[in-house]
Amino acid sequence: MLKILFSPSEGKKSGGNEKSQELLGSNKARDEILNEYNNLILNNNEEEIKKLFGFKKYSECEIYKNDIFTSPRMSAIERYSGVAYEYLGFDSLDENAKIYLKENTIIFSNLYGPILGGDFIANYKVKQGNNIGNIIPDKFYKDRFSYQLDLYLAKSEILDLRAGYYDKFYNITKPYTTLKFLKNGKAVSHWAKAYRGIVLRVLAEHTVNSIEEFMALEIEGLNISEIKVVKNKTEIIYNII
């Protein structure tokens, strides 16, 4: 089976109607960071909250100032709403594609760490790169979840669609494939996010189960220009046309 590693986004939808708090791996291993986040939110220290969220105005923080243990929950693949998720267009997919994404996408959250697309999470806010109290999220989750992920992914092929920052949460120890997007010979930022979403949508639409199946697909707007293999990493380089 193919597992896809993916990034979260700063933008999120509010609301939700689920109560399940079961997440990929050990919930107990997350206790420290989740409690630290919740305490920061509920202590109402305006400066600490603005710093954590990355906002200048305290009024912007209101929507996220909720107890994450009792807040409404929504599946992670539906919660995030940034560029990649806009191009994914989850709501417009058929039911089989939605199930595929919930079961086979692993998203690396700045608060919850590695979670399945179908795991239910609260509406939270942690600006990328910020600590939660004295906890460094990427180090925290790398220390506690690398072995769990190694076991979870042992029998799967891996397509790594994460933005580079999220490599710090987990180093892949087996052969894997990643993608790079070029426009006029130069790496792109905004369009890389968009095409990660587009690729994820294509994977779901075709319920792709292997890298071989993925390589056989034609993706509109992309042409393969080169394939590089370095140690356990295969990098497919696409030209955006």
E strands in 96-231: 105-109, 113-116, 120-121, 157-160, 176-183, 186-187, 222-230
| pLDDT value at residue 54 | 94
H/E element holding 48? helix 46-53
What amino acid occupies position 111? L
If one counts every other C-beta atom within 10 angstroms of the C-beta of residue 58, the result is: 14
Low-confidence ranges of the chain (pLDDT < 50): none
| pLDDT value at residue 98 | 98
Whole-angstrom distance, CA of residue 70 vs CA of residue 157? 36
pTM value is 0.96
Whole-angstrom distance, CA of residue 172 vs CA of residue 153? 9
Distance of CA 156 to the CA centre of its chain: 18
What's the pLDDT tens digit per position in 151-194?
Answer: 999 999 999 999 999 999 999 999 999 999 998 888 887 889 99
Residue (of 33, 118, 110, 49) closest to 77 by Cα position: 118
